[in-house]
Amino acid sequence: MAQVHTSNPLSDQPLVTGHHNTAALTAAQRTALEVALAASRGHVDGDALHCPDSERAIMVDPEPIGRPDVSWYSPFMETIQPQANTPPVQQQSAVLSRGQEMVLFRQYNYARLRSDQLRNKHNHRALTPRQARELIRWHSIALARREQIAEYNLPLVLAMAKRTRPRNQEYGDLIAEGNMALLRAIDKFDVDRGFKFSTYACQAILKSFSRWGMKQSRYRDRFPARFDPTMERSEWPGTQHSIDHREWADEVRHLVINNRAHLSSLEQQVLHHRFGIGKVQPGCPDGGPMTLVQVGQTVGLTKERVRQVQKRAILKLRDAVSVN
């Protein structure tokens, strides 16, 4: 449990103004402050939050409550197969007592209350560096308590998903919807009414599953074909590239055969033997592909000379293609 620490005395120079002047903070603190200011407001109020010395009674005096072991959750979710029966949860979940629930929820709502108070100050005037750091701290505490409560109740979502027995539904999507419903239930639960959180959360999760199922049914009615990712792979780029390649090759062959690039007889022979294009010269074998050495032996030139002739012929072809 995060303990409440007394901040060191800080100057009262304005920190957050209408232009968000945050020069007094580090880069990490400025980022955290922007997140805290943009966070949604609201908390579940209660008399315990406004008692004298409520901060000590809620945040300091209670015994610390450890985080549950949720190392089983990620491997469990990775083994889930879509459209399969809900697998059993292979772990022993930690359960909060009624007293521990009260401690965590009061700490969560007290941290949200203090954050809201500081955000309201920001709406009316600039925050001092001390107030900005307080807002960052209380927002962090609220997030930590919310995450801790959610971790204790992760098996609750799985149990409700198993009860619904969805058919033709993605089980992973169902769990994600249940987790979002769990977080919304944490935000709205009033611990002072005397009920266990599991009672309230179960109803919220089941209602969320019902709404999600109706939405999926409407979607299937409008789009009856099931999505198949393999059908999204288009053959058009490869097909178009093949068509373009054939057209370019035909154009080059036309230029060579009709000598539109004004190639010499030697250049035509080199292209013919190297790439198999052009007219077969009298007394020469069929066209390539041949290596530079083989072409040199055929036309009676060195390898380097053949390479120079080939380069000059290709440059002429490029000029002819650009003109066309």
Contact 148, 182 (CB under 8 A): no
Whether residue 231 has pLDDT greater than 80: no
DSSP, collapsed to helix, strand or coil, labels residue 254 as: helix
Q: Which residues contact 273 (CB under 8 A, 6 or more apart)?
A: 284, 285, 287, 288, 290, 294, 295, 298, 299
Residues 9 and 145 in one domain: yes
Residues 178 and 263 in one domain: no
Whether residue 321 has pLDDT greater than 70: yes
Last residue of a domain, one of 136, 152, 168: 152
DSSP, collapsed to helix, strand or coil, labels residue 281 as: coil
- How far apart, in whole angstroms, are the C-alpha atoms of residue 227 and residue 220? 10
**What mean pLDDT comes out for the span 155-163?**
88
- How far apart, in whole angstroms, are the C-alpha atoms of residue 206 and residue 156? 11
Residues 107 and 159 in one domain: no
Average pLDDT, the chain: 80
Residues 253 and 310 in one domain: yes
Residues 116 and 7 in one domain: yes
Residues 12 and 71 in one domain: yes
Quick one: pLDDT at residue 106?
95
Q: Which domain holds residue 275?
A: 243-323
Residues 313 and 187 in one domain: no
Asked whether residue 292 is assigned to any structural domain, the reply reads: yes
User: Total domain count for the chain?
Assistant: 3
For the domain that residue 168 is a member of, what is the CATH number? 1.20.120.1810
Contact 107, 127 (CB under 8 A): no
Residues 23 and 122 in one domain: yes
Q: What is the pLDDT of residues 286-312, one digit of tens each?
A: 555 788 888 888 888 898 998 998 899
Residue 91 pLDDT class (50, 70, 90 cuts)? low
Residues 187 and 278 in one domain: no
Asked whether residue 236 is assigned to any structural domain, the reply reads: no
Tell me phi and psi for residue 127, to 5 degrees.
Answer: -90, 140
Residues 256 and 120 in one domain: no
How far apart are the two ends of the chain, measured CA to CA in Å? 77
Asked whether residue 232 is assigned to any structural domain, the reply reads: no
Q: Which residue has the tokens 């060191």?
A: 8
Residues 25 and 143 in one domain: yes
Residues 258 and 311 in one domain: yes
Sign of CA dihedral 301, 307, 308, 312: positive
Residue 265 pLDDT class (50, 70, 90 cuts)? confident
Q: What is the pLDDT of residues 24-56, one digit of tens each?
A: 788 899 899 999 998 888 999 999 999 989 999
Whether residue 194 has pLDDT greater than 50: yes
Sign of CA dihedral 72, 64, 186, 132: negative
Contact 264, 299 (CB under 8 A): no
Least confident of 13-27, 86-100, 183-197, 223-237: 13-27
Asked whether residue 233 is assigned to any structural domain, the reply reads: no
Residue 283 CB: number of other CB atoms within 10 A? 5
**What mean pLDDT comes out for the span 183-194?**
93
Asked whether residue 238 is assigned to any structural domain, the reply reads: no
The residue among 63, 43, 46 whose CA lies nearest residue 114 is 43
